[in-house]
Structure 1
Amino acid sequence: MENKTTIHDIAKALKIDASTVSRALNNSPRVSQKTKERIMAKANELGYQRNLLASNLRKNVTNTIGVIVPRISRHFFSSVISGIEETAYDAGYNVIICQSLEQLKRERKLVETLLANRVEGVLLSVSMETDEFDHLLHMKNNGTPFLFFDRHCEIEGISSVLIDDFQGGFDATEHLILNGCKNIGHFSGPQELAIYRNRTAGYRKALEKHKIPYRPELVVRSSLMENDGAEGAKTLLSLPYKVDGLFSANDIAAIGAMKYFKNEGVKVPDDIAIVGFSNEPVSGIIDPSLTTMDQPGFQIGQIATKLLLEEISNAPNANPILAKTKILKSSLIERDSSRKCN
């Protein structure tokens, strides 16, 4: 491995002090323009690269924010990351992206690693397992600005950028009811997470509005993976009455259910109409195409980053910025999986 060029190599080649080279590379007014040009030309010739990390650490800034998402492979999270990166880049910040893979233990480790790397702030969507908040409280007590997006925990003084999950759950369920469904199943995620509690609450409110009794056996809780969707579909088919609608709290589990129904000869939407949540790209391609709730991921990323950068720039001040909760709407995209219901 070849040695990297240092300021001392440039100084030696030009027979000047290393301190002059350093000042020139930092565009100091104490060095003449002519000398700066000589030093820059020699630096380029020798292939010198500035160690920005070391330079930033000396100034006690890294111009870097950390992002923790459950899964980068999910379209929603990748669209949020696009919004984060664009906004951070425009503000002169770098982004470190990590995924918890829905594991609390991994999420804890990632927070620790980001803090060790001196990030100036963290954007976080918590894992499905996150029911303990010691690592988040540590970040808060440590004075590292952070905020939640999409999935959050109730921690005082921490901002969040969220979807109106209650309204999304209500709209999805009411769509099924207006299409003639009476016995509507619901796939929900862990109830420790507010997004799933709120989507379930929206489901229940729509039933109540249309005077349809709530039946707990129609609500199936899981981690909402594709195989969970298949298991949930099996559970719904085992009930002593016909289930004619399904609202799934994500698209992945809905697709798992659709595959299971197809294998069992249950027709979608004729026998059971289905609505998912999150508008994964595959939802528009599968047959039948999946009706779903679309979320403005890119916009969430933009807003969350702007809020975090405000908190970072305010951090040295004695008066902290008051925590904010921004709530964005989801919108129903009607496709073939719910177009009619017996």
Structure 2
Amino acid sequence: MAQSLKKQRSNTIGVIVPEIRHHFFATVISGIENVAYDAGFIIIVCQSDETLQREITNTRALAANRVAGLIMAISLETTTFEHMKAVMKQGIPLVQFDRVVPELNTGKVIIDDFRAAYKITSHLIDCGYKRIGFLAGREGIALNQLRFNGYMQALKNYGIPYYPELHTGTGGCREEDGRIGADMYLAMGNPPDAILAINDPVAVGAFCRFREAGLRIPDDIALAGFSGSPESALIDPPLTTINQPAFEMGRTAAALILKQLNSIDENFIPETVTLKTELLMRGSSLRREQD
């Protein structure tokens, strides 16, 4: 406590995530705690519930409690960043992960979303699919745009047409958004033969709705997602996905915070760390003759 008072900071690190129920974010939190605990810090976790106002409230509350640093992934509603800039002006180190604001000069832990989307779209094309839809998240979020750009580049490079009507979504990242998106595709006269979803929960939601409608996966429609969540391996057939190293993302974010806290350089330059991903090719995109 004496050391905390002397340094004018506590031994706590604040963490803000869009939602704790999402396996990806829960695993990131575990990675953060793993590193922070060994360094003598505890973490305080808040969830924004995908709303800007709760994110602002959480940010202010953590700053008021003099957290030593703040680690966060922005909500789907976050298009203004004054609350984040305010934290930085107070001298509180800020590290972003997964969903980041590129223009803010903070530490960042990301994947190459463009390359990962390009890779998984290329896989769908290699499997013979010609009408590939993109079931999107919220427009304006950098992650969503990068994945869409990767999808578009793969279509272009392989000479596969882009059908604007197949680029759809509800702006959300949960299972119910996938079900709604699936209904949009089911209502089309000429639906896609494959879909790349913004993440695994959306893909799983769409998967369940298509199965309820009597479609065979992947024979009638193929599906692919992002994150490598446990449920992606439990559905039948299992979901093709991009495996993101969530635990390592959390550990890296915590390491970046600690590095900044321990630095005596007044001109400290925050780092951006890009972690590797893995394409998991599974039954939701592989027809039997391709297995």
What TM-score bracket applies, with the shorter chain setting the length? Answer: over 0.9
Deviation at 1:67, TM superposition (A): 0.6
Is it true that 1:170 corresponds to 2:105 in the alignment? no
- Structure 2 residue 216 is matched with structure 1 residue 257: no
> Could you tell me how far 1:156 is from its partner in structure 2?
3.8
Q: Tell me, what secondary structure is at the counterpart of 1:223? A: coil
Give me the whole-angstrom Cα distance separating, in 1, the residues matched to 2:288 and 2:158.
16
Tell me the CA shift for residue 239 of structure 1: 2.5
AA aligned to 1:327 is: T
**Aligned to 2:250, what secondary structure does the other structure show?**
helix
Tell me the CA shift for residue 57 of structure 1. 3.4
2:179 maps to 1:230: yes
**Alignment match, 2:253:** 304
Change (3 A) 1:324 1:191: same
Q: Distance in 1 between matches of 2:61 and 2:153?
A: 42
- Identify the residue that residue 60 of structure 1 maps to in structure 2: 8
Structure 1 residue 230, shift from structure 2 partner: 1.5
Q: How does 1:1-342 map to 2 (within 5 A)?
A: 52=1, 56-57=4-5, 60-221=8-169, 222-314=171-263, 317=264, 319-340=266-287
Q: How far 1:102 moved relative to its partner? A: 0.6
Task: Tell me, yes or no, if the aligned pair for 2:131 and 2:161 is still in contact at 8 Å.
Answer: no
Give the number of the structure whose alpha-carbon radius of gyration is greater.
1
The answer to whether the Cα contact below 8 Å between 1:107 and 1:127 also exists between their aligned partners in 2 is: yes
Contact 1:271–1:341 (CA<8 Å) still a contact in 2?
no
Cα distance in 2 between the residues matched to 1:72 and 1:179: 35
CA separation of 1:326/1:59 partners in 2, compared to 1, >3 Å: closer, same or farther?
closer
Cα distance in 2 between the residues matched to 1:59 and 1:339:
57
Q: Distance in 1 between matches of 2:277 and 2:136?
A: 17
Partners in 1 of 2:6 and 2:65 — Cα distance? Answer: 14
| Superposed displacement of residue 256, structure 1 | 1.2
Q: Aligned AA for 2:226?
A: F
Return the alpha-carbon distance in structure 2 between the equivalents of residues 341 and 285 of structure 1: 18
User: CA RMSD for the aligned pairs?
Assistant: 1.7
Q: Which runs of 4+ in 1 moved over 4 A?
A: none
Cα distance in 1 between the residues matched to 2:101 and 2:70: 14
Within 1, Cα distance between the matches of 2:62 and 2:265?
A: 24
Q: Is the 8 A contact 2:18 2:47 kept in 1?
A: yes
Which residue identity lines up with residue 195 of structure 1 in the other structure? L
Structure 1 CA distance for aligned equivalents of residues 95 and 260 of structure 2: 9
- What CA distance in whole angstroms lies between the structure 2 residues aligned with 1:179 and 1:154? 34
How far has the Cα of 1:58 moved from its partner?
5.8
1:76 shift after superposition: 1.1
Identical pairs, percent:
42
- Larger mean CA deviation between 144-153 and 156-165 belongs to 156-165
Q: Which string of whole-angstrom CA distances, capped at 9 and with x for unpartnered residues, describes residues 100-137 of structure 1?
A: 11110000000111011110100010001000111011
For 2:210 and 2:189, how far apart are their aligned partners in 1? 17
User: What number of residue pairs does the alignment pair up?
Assistant: 288
Tell me, what secondary structure is at the counterpart of 1:172?
A: helix
2: CA distance, partners of 1:160 / 1:129: 19
Q: Relative contact order: is structure 1 or structure 2 higher (C-alpha 8 Å, sep ≥ 6)? A: 2
Gaps of 5+ in 2: none
CA distance in 2, matches of 1:66, 1:290: 33
SS in 2 for 1:311: helix
Q: What is the aligned partner in structure 2 of residue 46 from structure 1? A: none
Q: 1-side partners of 2:102 and 2:244: how far apart?
A: 22
Counterparts of 1:226 and 1:318 in 2: how far apart (Å)?
45
Change in Cα spacing, 1:139 to 1:341, as seen in structure 2 (3 Å) is farther
Q: What secondary structure, in the 3-state scheme, does the structure 1 residue paired with 2:220 have? A: coil
Structure 2 distance, partners of 1:220, 1:341, is 28
CA change 1:155–1:142 in 2 (3 A) is farther
Stretch deviating more after TM superposition (227-236 or 247-256): 227-236
Deviation at 1:59, TM superposition (A): 5.4
TM-aligned CA deviation for residue 235 of structure 1: 1.5
